[in-house]
Structure 1
Amino acid sequence: MKVSIVTVVYNNVSMVADAIESVLNQDYPDLEYILIDGASTDGTTELVRMYQNRITRVISEKDEGLYDAINKGIRMCSGDIIGLLHSDDFYPNNKVVSSFVKAFEEKNTDAVYGDLVYVDKEDTQKVIRYWQSGEFDCESFYKGWMPPHPALFIKKECYLKYGVYDTRFKSAADYELTLRILLKNKISATYLPIVMASMRTGGKSNSSLRNRLMANIEDYKAWKINDLQPKFYTRFMKPLSKIPQYFHGITQEKLELVYATSNSYKNNEVEV
């Protein structure tokens, strides 16, 4: 199976190299990498150019925002499976792609997702939050659940059938997409209990109380435009469900073990 990974970047020269290197170092051979740069002005464009010969396709031009750029990248993908890795995120080891491809092949599934760690912006070995996704269950959406987006990989045919990201959203288009394809259209999904992505802290939707409130409003809108009816507590459960992630109790030794055994999902060897 051919895999396409898309990275979108704008003015992130200090971090994008980690994302790029983590994709280029994957051990899976049939991998297409597409990088969309929104015409950065901080040196990002020049840095990306250093990798030009190793990246399948690089586009540097103005866009209408994050989700517009992501959609542009998705439409360029020729792979059977598509994954998104933002410019301040990175894969924790070189077996992430081969691990989820194995799951696609063995489970004959439409999507595969795993766990994610939030790490310190400067010290990426320091874990702030551990997002342990758990098994997929439609009812979980009503309790505030969603899969971590950088650790979610979806067949291209699902995007073709159910659509890409809704650019009317400013920060919750990823949430809306998961509601649309997993809950409303009920595609099949397989959970791998492994760390599949590392995300630096400081995301837009969580950067301030105002942004969190705006994201909460957009979350509710995501339900309504899909003709789905959340429970009265759903809007409050989504932010509350994040609290246990801060009490992960994971040591550096155990984190290294999780990273090192990212292809051990079949026997459920990793427990956190």
Structure 2
Amino acid sequence: MNLKYPKITVVTPSYNQAPFLKMTLESILNQDYPNLEYIVIDGGSTDGSVDILRQYDKQLTYWVSEPDQGQTDALNKGFLRATGDILCWLCSDDLFESWTLKEVAQFFQDNPQARVVYGDSTWIDVEGQPLRIKKELPFNRFIFLYSHNFIPQPSTFWRRDLYEEVGGLNSEFDLAMDADLWMRFSEVTDFYHVRRSWSKMRLYPEQKTQRLSVRSREEGRMIEQRYCGEEPMWSFKVKKFLATSLRVGWKLAAGNYW
């Protein structure tokens, strides 16, 4: 089947990430995807990021550097400008694999009923060296809600009409905005999973989710409260144990730990 190229919009939020920004930009632009809309929203960086963005000015659909209210605000600004058929975001310290966008396009062409898909990912260190592959399971709402958000955000792509249907990102969240979006996606459509690494996620102490782990847990509890608020604590704890056990056993059986 000949591949048609739907317009894919990639939004990159960034703030003072000059050491990684160029690699992120090139991981997208060097794929030579013929129908790419690439939007970068910088929060007013002072570390040389703007100079890097100027170097890529002609290759970017749109970019701006100005103060914002954080990552979710930056993403919302970017998605307001998005005109692509398929949407995603890639943070400025993460990377796409060289084959990602064409494989995503092929998937949506072969599966017209699909509205959201995620692949696997590879953890990398601050130098970009691989640490381990994050092999994931097909989506399971019970595991997702009662265990943790296991979907690799930079390997997740969705149709624009789905994003608009659920109301987009919730600015109330600064760290768990992806988990909140996935839960709302799951209320109206099925998730699809492809066992193929589509991104490289950088793991290092200064990473936002590492630095703000307490806030991340608080936002996770906000989501739990929305869907499990009336559930007795004993029941929630039992389900959490069962969900974690199911996830570990399923991953072992699928060979996902090696």
Query: Once structures 1 and 2 are overlaid, which stretch shifts more, 227-236 or 107-116?
Result: 227-236
SS in 1 for 2:57: coil
Number of corresponding residues: 238
- Note the alpha carbon deviations across 1:59-118, whole angstroms, 9 max, x for none: 22111111000111111110010011000001121x100101111111120011001111
Other-structure match for 1:221: 222
Contact 2:12 2:41 in 1 (8 A): yes
Tell me the CA shift for residue 189 of structure 1: 2.1
CA RMSD of aligned residues (A): 2.6
CA distance in 1, matches of 2:31, 2:120: 18
- Change over 3 Å in CA distance of 1:214–1:39 after alignment to 2: closer
SS in 2 for 1:14: helix
| Equivalent in 2, 7, 31 of residue 7 of structure 2 | 2
Other-structure match for 2:3: none
SS in 1 for 2:38: strand
CA distance in 2, matches of 1:21, 1:136: 30
Tell me the CA shift for residue 196 of structure 1: 0.6
Gaps of 5+ in 1: 251-270
Contact 1:88 1:199 in 2 (8 A): yes
Tell me the CA shift for residue 228 of structure 1: 7.0
Q: Identity rate of aligned residues, in percent?
A: 30
- Change over 3 Å in CA distance of 1:64–1:214 after alignment to 2: closer
- Change over 3 Å in CA distance of 1:145–1:12 after alignment to 2: closer
SS in 2 for 1:175: helix
CA distance in 2, matches of 1:234, 1:220: 15
Q: Which runs of 4+ in 1 moved over 4 A?
A: 226-230, 233-238
Letter in 1 for 2:224: W
SS in 1 for 2:10: strand
- Note the alpha carbon deviations across 1:37-75, whole angstroms, 9 max, x for none: 111111101111100001111122111111000111111
Query: Once structures 1 and 2 are overlaid, which stretch shifts more, 216-225 or 155-164?
Result: 216-225
SS in 1 for 2:169: coil
Contact 2:149 2:179 in 1 (8 A): no
Other-structure match for 1:136: 139
Contact 1:103 1:190 in 2 (8 A): no
Contact 2:39 2:78 in 1 (8 A): yes
* TM-score, normalisation: structure 1: 0.79
- Change over 3 Å in CA distance of 1:194–1:91 after alignment to 2: same
CA distance in 1, matches of 2:31, 2:152: 20
- Change over 3 Å in CA distance of 1:192–1:126 after alignment to 2: same
| Equivalent in 163, 172, 183 of residue 167 of structure 2 | 163
Alignment of 1:48 with 2:49, yes or no, is no
- Change over 3 Å in CA distance of 1:106–1:216 after alignment to 2: same
Contact 2:122 2:130 in 1 (8 A): no
SS in 1 for 2:107: helix
CA distance in 2, matches of 1:233, 1:130: 30
- Note the alpha carbon deviations across 1:2-52, whole angstroms, 9 max, x for none: 110011111111100011001101242111101111111111011111000
Gaps of 5+ in 2: 1-5
Other-structure match for 1:260: none
* Alignment of structure 1 residues 1-272 onto 2, 5 Å: 1-93=6-98, 95-108=99-112, 109-122=114-127, 124-127=128-131, 129-141=132-144, 142-182=146-186, 185-202=187-204, 203-207=207-211, 211-225=212-226, 231-232=236-237
